[in-house]
């Protein structure tokens, strides 16, 4: 598997992870997930690979999270995944996938686990 990063160029953490990958000689496939959002199936795949719940991958900062009332525990895994697919701004970043695994790279050093 080639390395892939779900990247937001406006995010300093995402830029730092991308820079670290490049410093290691890795030229990842860069997916600007806000412009090319993953579908629900891709989100579920990342969750399974990384051993995360939908809440673990959900960005809690920002208007969308609050406007949709996603802090309420009533939301199921499937509903949260659907919300992220419909509103990719809800996906925390960066997510990196390599042959060694998948990680939500917050903090930046988490990427080291899969290099």
Catalytic residue numbers? 11
> Residue 35 phi/psi, 5° resolution?
-90, -30
Decide: 43 and 93 in contact? Cβ < 8 Å: no
Query: DSSP letters along 1-68, please?
Result: ---EEEE-TT-HHHHHHHHHHHHTT--PEEEETTTS---HHHHHHHHHHHT--HHHHB---SHHHHHT
């Amino acid at each position: 598997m080639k390395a892939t990063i779900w990247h937001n160029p406006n995010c300093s953490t995402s830029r730092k992870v991308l820079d670290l990958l490049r410093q290691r000689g890795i030229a990842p496939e860069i997916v600007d997930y806000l412009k090319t959002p993953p579908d629900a199936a891709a989100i579920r795949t990342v969750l399974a690979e990384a051993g995360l719940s939908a809440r673990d991958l959900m960005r809690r900062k920002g208007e969308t999270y609050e406007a949709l009332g996603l802090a309420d525990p009533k939301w199921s895994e499937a509903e949260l995944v659907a919300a992220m697919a419909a509103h990719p701004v809800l996906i925390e970043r960066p997510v990196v996938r390599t042959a060694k695994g998948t990680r939500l790279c917050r903090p930046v050093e988490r990427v080291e686990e899969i290099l």
